[in-house]
Amino acid sequence: MSAQAEAGTGGLDLAVTSPALDPPGRFARAATVAGEVVACVGAAIGTVALSSSVEVDPLDRLGQVSGLAALDLRFVLLGLAVLAACVATARHPRAFNVVSRLACAAVAGLATGLVAGGIVLALHGTTWALFANWGDSGQLIRWADDILAGRPIPPDYPPVALHLIARWAELTGDSTAGALRTSQAVGTALFGPIAYLSWRLVLTPVWALAVALVAGMPLLEPYKPYTTVVLVALVPLLIAFLRLLRRADTLTWTRLAVAGAAAGVALGALFSVYSGWFLWSAPGALVAVLVRFPRRAPVRGLALLGVTVAGLVAVAWPHLFGAIAAAGKVQDRYFYFDTAVEPAYIAMWRNDLPGNVGPWPPPGELAGVGVFTVLLVVGLGVAVAVAGRRTAVLTTGALLAGAWILRLAIASQMYETQTVQLYPRTTAEILFCLLLMAVLAARYGGRRVQDAWRARAAAGNGRVPRNAMPLIGALSAALLLALSMGSATADRYLPRNDGSVGLLAYVAQHVRQPDGRCPVFSGANGCAPDPGALLRGEWPPQAP
């Protein structure tokens, strides 16, 4: 296909996939990539900064609604500015090519910046993080304190988040509780940029944005944002590595060594942030490696694998060896609501805090299966049908199958062993892979339709008309989807004592702070003596 025809697609890949419209020169291309990084990170952090000016009582429902409306208004105004920039450059292909890239990146940042703004709103008036010093928050605070005091921390727990909390507290003079609060807000804001930039390794900007919103946003957990963001970033990294492995015979030894080392370091960094997804992904990743192994150049393939593994071990060896040493010794006996759910239900990931959601799982319309699950099944089928041999689809499918096998194998032993071994967490990976399949079905199915349209248009007059409106339309839809998802997710975390995840902020708003004072909005009864009193219903005290 000629560069001219590719430039005038008229579809969602307009300008952002066109070699003819790429900025000339290596420096210009690097500058555009750097611009995407700045756009998505700047949009995320800027949105959080703007949210700090919202002054309401986060425990009053009217205050919550007013605060959310103020955050949504800021999002809409920033989103309209992004769209305006695209419209202004629509008649100038080269400028539109750059602006559209930056626009996709900015929307990814705005989406999770809105959720992070909701977390700032939920914690307004208190210095605590979500759930104060209770549950996982309390454990992270204690481990960060151990780091600052020079005491050892468990080697089988990923160390990066703990060290970041401890070093931020040391750098700013804040308490580790305050540093955890900052990490929850900043980590939530950066979820979108990390997801988008990771998927830019393998997809064009508009499709990377689609994955970040459609497949990534449902997994966002402001309570511990560093966990699921690793899953969202791990899959595209595996896809990029497998593409590299497939063409290892075309690489020079120098490039092979550099690429393998870079992949290993990246994998090691993700492993050190949160390693659980590596366990659930291992069977599928192994199968995908075997399928994509370059049989015409086995020595180069083995060399690439060896360098990659060496890079991973060099970065992650303290946690890797600690996790291996703990294997078989650590038994998870935490039986919570999800362990009593039929094991094939994966249509919604709510971690271990389901809240007041009515029947769980929700009743399904089609033999117990909901319409959403049916759509996931359709997406899976279409993706395999139109692009089953592509590395992205093959890798995602292998990860999906491997996670299912581990999930059911562990769950089938639950009665005999009386252990859970975290198997409900496979819900997140299975759901993510199915949502990703739906996006890939649209991506590759849409490409077939576009190719047919281009062929017909070119046959008619020898050229394909250039049109920027499809991409502007996609950005408009993405902004509305991001607004709806971001506002709904933020609302779930606003403080309320109804058994939902709002309890995390409710506890933070009613427990005495590290400095001994009560949170600003704790009310006439003052603050609870400890989170346990709130969880047991002993606070506020009842009148005799």
Structure tokens at 369: 């299966």
Is residue 282 within 8 Å of 334, Cβ to Cβ? Answer: no
Is residue 166 within a helix (H) or strand (E), and if so which, with residue range? helix 160-172
Residues in the chain: 544
Structure tokens at 405: 């096998």
Residue 169 lies in a domain: yes
- CA torsion sign for 447, 453, 459, 463 is negative
Alpha-carbon distance 4 to 466, whole Å?
10
The count of structural domains within the chain is 1
pTM for the structure as a whole: 0.92
Helices marked H in 247-338 — which ranges? 253-273, 276-292, 298-326
Q: What pLDDT does residue 3 have?
A: 36
Residue 539 lies in a domain: no
Residue 443 lies in a domain: yes
Q: What angle do CA 14, 387, 391 make, to 5 degrees?
A: 95
Residue 102 lies in a domain: yes
Nearest to 213, CA basis, from 105, 101, 317: 105
Host domain of residue 402: 3-509
544: three-class secondary structure by DSSP: coil
Alpha-carbon distance 137 to 134, whole Å?
6
Alpha-carbon distance 66 to 343, whole Å?
40
Alpha-carbon distance 341 to 362, whole Å?
11
Place of tokens 């009864």: 525
Q: What pLDDT does residue 539 have?
A: 79
Structure tokens at 193: 């940029």
Residue 528 lies in a domain: no
Residue 10 lies in a domain: yes
Nearest to 111, CA basis, from 439, 491, 479: 479
Alpha-carbon distance 162 to 153, whole Å?
9
Tens-binned pLDDT, residue by residue, of the chain (544 aa): 333 333 333 344 433 343 334 445 677 888 989 999 999 999 999 999 999 999 999 999 999 999 999 999 999 999 999 999 999 999 998 899 999 999 999 999 999 999 999 999 999 999 999 999 999 999 999 999 999 999 999 999 999 999 999 999 999 999 999 999 999 999 999 999 999 999 999 999 999 999 999 999 999 999 999 999 999 999 999 999 999 999 999 999 999 999 999 999 999 999 999 999 999 999 999 999 999 999 999 999 999 999 999 999 999 999 999 999 988 788 889 888 888 889 999 988 777 765 566 677 777 767 778 889 999 999 999 999 999 999 999 999 999 999 999 999 999 999 999 999 999 999 999 999 999 999 999 999 988 877 776 666 666 554 545 568 888 999 999 999 999 999 999 999 999 988 788 999 999 999 999 888 999 998 777 888 777 778 777 777 765 5
Residue 519 lies in a domain: no
Alpha-carbon distance 304 to 297, whole Å?
11
Place of tokens 């999906």: 400
Angle between helices 176-199 and 26-51 (to 10 degrees): 140
Place of tokens 């490696």: 289
Residue 299 lies in a domain: yes
Nearest to 124, CA basis, from 492, 495, 501: 495
Alpha-carbon distance 151 to 205, whole Å?
45
Amino acid at 531: P
